Chain A
Amino acid sequence: MIVDEIFEIVSYKIDAEAHIRVNQDICHECTHRACTFACPARCYQWNEERERIDFAYEACLECGTCLLICDREALDWHYPRGGFGVHFRLT
């Protein structure tokens, strides 16, 4: 799957800190967890064992889908710091 090899086909300059913060308490109560399927880069995955969202900000394509589909304000959403994040070379 493309999202499994996303770091091989998409260029990133990864910041040390996440640009989006996930409020796990809210996610824990969420009934749809739409972010876990709707994110085009599959950055959000529900961890059954730990009962939390595993969020891989490193692969974020900065599209904003999660911000729009989260109806519980669980995300503190920012663009990455200047110069960091995804860098489309060819597109």
Chain B
Amino acid sequence: MGKRFDVIVAGAGPAGAAAALRMAQKGLKVLVLERGDVPGGKNMFGGMLPGCPAAEELLAGFWDSAPWERHVVKRVLTIIAQSSSTSLAFEADSYDHPPYNGYTLFRPLFDGWLAEQAVRAGATLLCSTVVQDLLRSGEKITGVRAAGPEGDLEARAVVACDGVLSFLAEKAGLRPPFAPRHMAVGVKGLFRMPEELINERFNLVRDQGATCEFLGCTEGIRGGGFIYTQTETLSAGLVFHLDALKRSGKAPHELFERFLEIAPVRRLLKGARLAEYSAHLLPEGGYRMVSRLFTDGMLVAGDAAGLCYTNGLNQEGMNLAITSGLHAADTICEAFERGDFSSKTLGRYDARLREDFVLKDMKTFEKAIDWMHSDRLFSVYPQVVGTALEEIYRSDGRPKRRMGRIGRDALKGEVTVRELIADLVRGGRSLL
């Protein structure tokens, strides 16, 4: 490459591009390496970027120029049972005014745009380049080894934003190898549908968006389904815990095709045309699986650090990625001021994330992971809800029973009192 860089960022996703943009703005010479031929080309995100003040901190007027699709005003949770479905639809007026509470977007567009901002600020972007290894001098990370013509590239600091599988965090000894229970796999179809039809079907106007989550649609495997609205497309798919999927012996692509046939899903997707199919892993270990975030000469941000969580209702990751990228950048700028790239200075990154919502939220829902690993939540309870409500709402000339009785009967034989109490306690601990 023949040019010295201050910092090398591995990965041009939201964490990497945010970090690069910030550091370039502060005058550092930044090189971003991306394995796709364009930023976002390897990304299959089909979810929501939750409201993210760090974005405005990066660039004033961020949301006026960033390419996003719809702002989310409606969150729907649907519980699927054998012969019924139960939905809870939440809409808030406040979500319909800027700053918006969440955005749906396409990552090939969004990541491309964000990386372009970094390049405009002075960063160098090199695509089609896989980072193979780290360069070391003793314990200190001194650069990266890129596959192909670039070879060894040295820098004062490295920011590993190489995504969920982060081989760099593993090579740096910042995390142990993953186990299937720490990871989920998402499979997703992107479906085309005219904008007016999406608005009509999801009861939206203008660029309002909705997110729909489905519980009980995974044939008993721990996981769930989703449909997210973009402007003229829908993202629909399933997420499974890998350990549960492995044990089930079932194929995710077949589960996906059966999911599309479930009545409430089929009704929402009617007339939509499949345009792309994709799959990816998600960090699902929660707070306990967040990697060590720094070592001499290197920081880890975004999915690479395991900064991603779900508690059943919130699923956040992209906002954590952008915010962690920003903090990584500020920490490295500080390291340049001090001329010290050891853990002593870089450890400030960990403190910054702890002071911010990033690690606070992950800590708040630390125990949610235990709740999300209760098999009955995905198999027994959706059916219990359906069975009970089907009788409660039924009018067929027969005398009605008291609701407590109906509930007890729906649970009988499916779950013992002891199991029910254990699940309630676990759920309470994780969320309340």
Contact = CB atoms under 8 A, between A and B. Distances in A.
Contact of B242 (A9, A65, A86): A65
Nearest to B146: A82
Contacts of A82: 35, 37, 127-130, 147-148
Nearest to A62: B42
Interface in A40-91: 40-42, 61-65, 67-69, 78-83, 85-91
Contact of B233 (A2, A40, A62, A90): A90
A42 B151 CA distance: 34
Interface in B174-194: 178-180, 183, 185, 187-190
A41 B44 CA distance: 14
Interface in B297-323: none
B220 to A, nearest CB: 15
B88 interface: no
B34 to A, nearest CB: 9
A90 B275 CA distance: 8
A37 B106 contact: no
B41 to A, nearest CB: 5
A34 B246 contact: yes
Nearest to A6: B277
A20 B276 CA distance: 23
Interface stretch (B57-65, B74-82, B248-256, B349-357): B248-256
Interface in B114-135: 127-130
Contact of A87 (B41, B129, B147, B274): B41
B106 A9 contact: no
A91 B276 contact: yes
Interface in B142-196: 147-148, 164-165, 178-180, 183, 185, 187-190
A30 interface: no
Contacts of A9: 274-277
Interface stretch (B278-286, B287-295, B325-333): B278-286
Contacts of B276: 9-10, 88-91
Contact of B257 (A1, A41, A42, A86): A1
B67 interface: no
B278 A65 contact: no
A83 B127 contact: yes
Contacts of A63: 185, 279-281
B281 A90 contact: no
How many A residues are at the interface, by size bracket?
A: 35 or more
A1 B255 CA distance: 11
A7 to B, nearest CB: 11
A61 to B, nearest CB: 4
Contacts of A69: 180, 242, 245-246
Contacts of A32: 246
Contacts of A89: 108, 276
Given A2-B189, A82-B147, A88 B35 contact: no
Given A37-B249, A37-B250, A69-B242, A2 B37 contact: no
Contacts of A2: 189, 253, 256-257, 274, 277
A88 B281 contact: no
A38 interface: yes
A1 B279 CA distance: 16
B108 A1 contact: no
Contacts of B347: none
Interface in B16-60: 35-37, 40-46
Interface in A9-43: 9-10, 13, 32, 34, 37-38, 40-42
Contact of B44 (A13, A65, A81, A91): A91
Given A64-B281, A79-B130, 8 more contacts: A65-B252, A68-B178, A68-B183, A68-B242, A81-B130, A88-B108, A89-B276, A90-B233
Interface of B: 35-37, 40-46, 106-108, 127-130, 147-148, 164-165, 178-180, 183, 185, 187-190, 233, 235, 242, 245-246, 249-254, 256-257, 274-281
